[in-house]
Every structure is written in structure tokens, then in C-alpha cells.
Amino acid sequence: MKKQTKNQSFPNTRKKQFFNLLKNKFRLLTSIGSALLISSIPLLVTIFFDSSFMMSLFSNNEYFEGSSLNEFGNTLLLQNTLLFSSIRIICYVLLFITLGGALRVVRQLYWSEHVKLIKDLFKGIKNNLKNSIIFGLVFGLSRFIFNLIPLFNLNPLLSVLIYGVNYALIYPLILIGFVYTTLYNGSFFRTCYHSFLIYIKKFLWFLPFIIIFIAIPFVSYIPANKFYIEIVLLILMLFLIVPIYLLAYYGVSLKSFDELINHTYFKELENKGLSNDECN
């Protein structure tokens, strides 16, 4: 861990630090977005072929009986959903691996450390590889289940329960746990346990970010015949919106960790990167 440079010109709050970084490191943020965009190419290709198949399926009268798909059409729909939803799990893992590297870069920015984008990105990927794969798999499997739910006549209450557990618990734990792993060591289950406690104690702090995180996957519900809109929105989000989101979210996470963890157990991390003048 590098020694922090003492500089009274640093911002003295995470909020001020966020706006300072947004102003002065915007070009670096778009570079992070470029890395995320490159790692999402397999996902974008998958969306293209998945949507192309769906357009072909629903435009072919051979697969319909009246206004509904016939048995053969439903079989093709199920096979297509299983195939591309499975492939997307791998795509999400690849994206999360790059996110692990991006989070290290953002951490270095908040710690006021010198950043070498390529070096820090790959170091973050290497150091956080295991956790990135696990979180990517969890997210990918949740999306896999979501894609299958409409194809089965599940009890409505069961469907609501599945959606609720993912949106209210799984996704928030992924968000908080991912940042947690860039700061502290520990098993995956220990990370989830501490992330859950932080989530409960600072729920209102994280709520806006959770809502945004939940909203992003809904891009995938754009009709197949307008898949190009989905692709353009994903490119825009990954290149510009997600890096800014990560910067804001990491700042809030650091503030909560300083209060709940660092103040008691890791004094050397408390307010790291901030001016000593009235840090909070």
C-alpha cells in the first residue's frame, strides 16, 4: 500500500472529491468506459444474433397457430432463450472482470494516488479476478432466470418472490460487495455478510444507486425488432454513464466504509485521499 501524499489542496469531503475528479479526470473516465465497451463486445454480438433470431421467429407464420406460437415455435423460442441466455452469462463474467480492474482505478483516484490506466486496470483485474468471476456469475445467473420466467407458467407469487429477492437483496449485495473486495481481504461469504450489514445500516445512502443498477437490465426488454436501440443505449451507458456511476458510487461506499469499518479497524484507510482539514 503506497504512502499517501499529504496535500492540503485535496478536497476534504468525498462529495467535493467526486466533483473534483469528475472535472479533472473526465478523460480518464472515458478511457475506463472504452475498456468496459471493449469487454462488452461479446455481449453486444450476442444481443445482435439473439434479436435477429427473434425477429425471424415472430415474422414467420409457419410457427404460429392463430396469434400464438405453435408447439414447434415454442420449442424454438425455448431453445433460443436457453442458448443465448447461457452465452450471456459468460459475457457478463467478462464484463465484470473488467469492472474489477476499473474499480481499482477509481479507488486510486479517490486515494489521490498516481494512476497509470493500463497498469492499474490490469493489476485490478488480476487482484480481483476471483471475486469478479463470482459476482459476474451471480449476476449472469440471475439474468438467466429472469429470461426464462416468462416462458413458464409460474405461480405469480413465486415470480414476484424471485424478482424481489434479486432486486432487493442480490443486486445490492453485488454492488456493495464488489467495492468491498477492492479494499479488504476475506472469503466470499464474509464479504456478503459484511455487505449485507452495510446495506442495512446505510440503505438510504445506497438506494439511488440500487435503483439505477436495477433499471439498467431493463434495456434488454426493448422489442427485438428495435434491438439497435438497445445496442446504442448499452454503448452509451458503458462508455459514459457507467464510469460516472462507478465514480459516484465508490465515493459513497468509501464514506460508509470510513464510518462503519475504517474508523474502528483500519485507521490508515479512514479519509484516505482527503485533506486533513475537517475531513468527513
Closest by CA position to 55, among listed 219, 224, 227 = 224
Phi and psi torsions of 69, nearest 5°: -65, 140
Mean pLDDT, consecutive 10-residue stretches, the chain (280 aa), reads 51 93 95 95 91 84 80 87 94 96 96 94 95 95 88 83 88 92 91 94 92 75 70 87 95 95 93 72
Report CA Rg, the chain: 21
Taken as a whole, the chain contains a residue count of 280
pLDDT of residue 5: 45
Closest by CA position to 139, among listed 184, 98, 89 = 89
Residue 6, all three cell numbers: 499529504
pLDDT of residue 16: 94
Instruction: Return the exposure string of 140-166: e unless at least 16 CB atoms fall within 10 Å of the residue's CB, then b.
Output: bebbbebbeeeeeeeeeeeeeeeeeeb
Whether 215 contacts 241, CB under 8 Å: no
| Phi-psi sector, 196: left (phi>0), alpha (psi -120 to 50), beta | alpha
DSSP structure string for 123-172: HHHHHTHHHHHHHHHHHHHHHHHHHHGGGS---HHHHHHHHHHIIIIIHH
pLDDT of residue 124: 96
**Calculated CA dihedral for residues 42, 45, 50, 56, nearest 10 degrees:** -160
Residue 194, all three cell numbers: 459484511
pLDDT of residue 155: 82
